[in-house]
Structure 1
Amino acid sequence: MKTSSSRQSANGGGRRSHLIAFALAALLGLAGAFSTPAAAQAWPGKPVRLIVPFPAGAAPDVIARLVADRLGAAWGQAVFVENRPGAGGIPGMAALVRSPADGYTLGFVPAAVVTLTPELYKNPQFNIDTDLVPVAAIGTSPMMIVVNQSSDIRTLADLIRTSRAQPGKLNFAAAQTNSVPHLTGEMLGRATGAPMFTVPYSGSAAATTALLANEAAVTVDGLPALTQYVKAGKFRALAVTSKERLPGFENVPAAGETVKGFESIGWFSVYAPTGTPAGVVEQVNRDINKVIQAPDLVARFAELGVYPKPGTPKALGDFVQEQRSAWKRAVIDLGLQPQ
């Protein structure tokens, strides 16, 4: 039979057990409260891969590396650029959509890859609507229409007048078949009733070499490919294809000043595989918006003819949808068929 003292001891032991259990539960709860933000802030805990579906040295690669360097510094983790060139950017995009959706693989996506590739290839191997999510816009890059400095053509109106007088006679050096620059030139000819004879080249370097040698009368390309030749006095800029004249090129008319409503721009963006954590998408968007507005990068972009376009992931998604619709109409108007 238990004594009163033994019962008191047992009751005291029970109270102590309850107190200990309560204290442990409180500590575990406190630990959990601190661990949730820590887990959310853990990204990036290792290097990040940035897939560029163009070769090293191409305009998208140059822009991607500038952004990657600054993101790496901001994150304290290396951001490795991985070039996956190929037809229409398909190899790079296919690699992107197959990557884990953990935030450690991002894609640097130029305009043509999401506007033209789905329209011009029967099996693009990616669906921008279901396989990928928009993260951040980087910047826009209008086209420029140029001739050799020795040419008698001095304005866009001269080019149109000359081409109308000799339909299909002026050689137009297309930087790459069915690229944004190529189709910009084709759309210009269609819009003005002044078709040129298209000579396809393997890329911007080959097309500019042809113009330097006067093997072609005109070429159209992004500002990054042409700016150095214009500034060196080797090419004469007839027009830029943005809605308005551009900072740094105020003496170059916008094409719309001669051809009402004409506009064609390239652009660069970052996408991630569908399923990438929303918190990571928000962080990358926030950090990209910050770095592309840094004065030193704005100045470097300006030298390359790229103009920062900060905004939300939704703003990027809406912009891309508008661009896709516009280019789809252009592909139909030009009678192009998927291959």
Structure 2
Amino acid sequence: MNPISRRRLLAAACLLSTLGSAAAQDWPSRPVRMIVPVGAGSAPDVIARIVGERLANVWGQGVVVDNRPGAGGIPGMSALVRSAPDGYTIGFVPAAMGTITPLVFKNPQFNPDTDLAPVATVGISPLMLAVPASSGIRSMADLAQHAKAHPGKVNFAAPQLNSLPHLAGEMVSKAGGMGLFTVPYRTPPDAVAAVLAGDAVLTVDGVPGLLEHVKSGRLRAVGVTSAQRLPGIDAPPVADTYPGYEAIGWFQIIAPAGTPPGVIERINADVNRITASSEVTRRLADMGVYPRQDSVSAAHAFFVQQQGAMRRLVTALGVQPQ
């Protein structure tokens, strides 16, 4: 490359940087839409509204939550990636919609590698494995022993086909050679009800969806899907029994690719301040979410790492896109 071409490229880069900074200084001058690819009232929606309300206070502009549920989050994700990349449309994206949907649907209508710009990690949300308290199963080893003693007859109540809890349970079954018989249910509460009724021996769900039943003594937690123990949860990581096992939920603020870097940095800084506050930390902890304050580059690296983890999981389980 000759010196003139190099100077032109540097000048262009400086110009783009200046424009990005100017855009960030002027932004936001009107309300911001936050697309949430799940239904109103769901746990991700509640978390999105907690964050959105505080962002509105910081920005002095409304944050309008736009719920787009259905089809693995495809309506919401496709609306997000087709929005103008100007910072006035962002997404509150759960793990499954960002990394599982593109793998299990033949036509997800978005490409996470080219269409998305991870902005900030709100938090991670590990899962819990629970069995009936009356079953006598007290550990992952007990579960494996029971399943092997009753081949093909131990039901796993899976909340929603190809959801993260479903795949996490299948991963446990495979890791332990358990041969669990998977029974898919429409919603996580339906799966929990099946275990409480004795129609299944195991279910997997987010901590909040199971903790009440564990505390009441009707269910027993035999493992959590994080690599480390969770504060206040009397259950070991599955990885203590099956090394390397990890399957966590998470939530990120994600923008359409091409959103000005200065705006992305501004949103990242504001989200991190919000999730670091004691009030929000407490509210998220009540929902089984553990906040993170990632930089933009760290949020992107986390997204890519989770993509790889889900791709390996889906491949190992032989899940075919539908």
The two structures share one fold, judged by TM-score above 0.5: yes
The match for 1:315 is: 298
Distance in 1 between residues matched to 2:21 and 2:204, nearest whole Å: 50
The match for 1:270 is: 253
Amino acid at match of 1:227: L
1:166 Cα shift? 1.3
Secondary structure at the aligned position of 2:148 is classed as helix
Compared with structure 1, are the counterparts of its residues 239 and 37 closer, same or farther at alpha carbon in structure 2 (3 Å cutoff)?
closer
Amino acid at match of 1:247: P
1:150 Cα shift? 2.5
Amino acid at match of 1:97: V
Alignment of 1:223-262 (within 5 A): 223-249=207-233, 251-262=234-245
Alignment of 1:23-34 (within 5 A): none
Amino acid at match of 2:304: Q
1:37 Cα shift? 8.0
Report the identity percentage: 55
Contact 1:248 1:302 in 2 (8 A): no
Distance in 2 between residues matched to 1:187 and 1:124, nearest whole Å: 23
Q: CA RMSD in A?
A: 1.6
Contact 1:169 1:197 in 2 (8 A): yes
TM-score, structure 1 as length reference: 0.85
Secondary structure at the aligned position of 2:41 is classed as coil
Distance in 1 between residues matched to 2:296 and 2:305, nearest whole Å: 14
1:38 Cα shift? 7.8
Report how many aligned residue pairs link the two structures. Answer: 303
1:192 Cα shift? 0.7
Secondary structure at the aligned position of 2:40 is classed as coil
Answer yes or no: is 1:92 the counterpart of 2:92.
Answer: no
The match for 1:63 is: 47
1:39 Cα shift? 6.3
1:266 Cα shift? 0.8
Distance in 1 between residues matched to 2:71 and 2:286, nearest whole Å: 28
Contact 1:139 1:267 in 2 (8 A): yes
Amino acid at match of 2:152: G
Distance in 2 between residues matched to 1:112 and 1:228, nearest whole Å: 24
1:229 Cα shift? 2.4
Contact 1:240 1:255 in 2 (8 A): yes
Distance in 2 between residues matched to 1:188 and 1:38, nearest whole Å: 50
Distance in 2 between residues matched to 1:49 and 1:117, nearest whole Å: 22
Answer yes or no: is 1:166 the counterpart of 2:147.
Answer: no
- Unaligned runs of 5+ residues in structure 1 are 1-35
Distance in 2 between residues matched to 1:48 and 1:179, nearest whole Å: 29
1:58 Cα shift? 2.1
Secondary structure at the aligned position of 1:205 is classed as helix
Secondary structure at the aligned position of 2:61 is classed as coil
The match for 1:332 is: 315
The match for 1:43 is: 27
Answer yes or no: is 1:145 the counterpart of 2:126.
Answer: no
Amino acid at match of 1:174: A
- Residues 251-294 of structure 1 deviation map (CA, whole Å, 9 limit, x = unaligned): 21111112222211111101111221211111100000010110
Amino acid at match of 1:170: V
Secondary structure at the aligned position of 1:129 is classed as helix
1:327 Cα shift? 1.4
- Residues 228-257 of structure 1 deviation map (CA, whole Å, 9 limit, x = unaligned): 3223333211111111101121x2111111
Contact 1:59 1:224 in 2 (8 A): no
Deviates more, 1:164-173 or 1:231-240: 231-240
The match for 1:179 is: 163
Alignment of 1:121-132 (within 5 A): 121-132=105-116
Distance in 2 between residues matched to 1:302 and 1:230, nearest whole Å: 17
Distance in 2 between residues matched to 1:40 and 1:259, nearest whole Å: 46
TM-score, structure 2 as length reference: 0.90
Secondary structure at the aligned position of 2:112 is classed as coil
1:69 Cα shift? 1.6
Distance in 1 between residues matched to 2:250 and 2:282, nearest whole Å: 17
Distance in 2 between residues matched to 1:233 and 1:299, nearest whole Å: 25
Amino acid at match of 2:277: A
Kindly report structure 1 stretches of 4+ aligned residues shifted beyond 6 Å.
Answer: 36-39
The match for 1:289 is: 272
Distance in 2 between residues matched to 1:323 and 1:218, nearest whole Å: 25
Alignment of 1:103-122 (within 5 A): 103-122=87-106
Contact 2:272 2:293 in 1 (8 A): yes
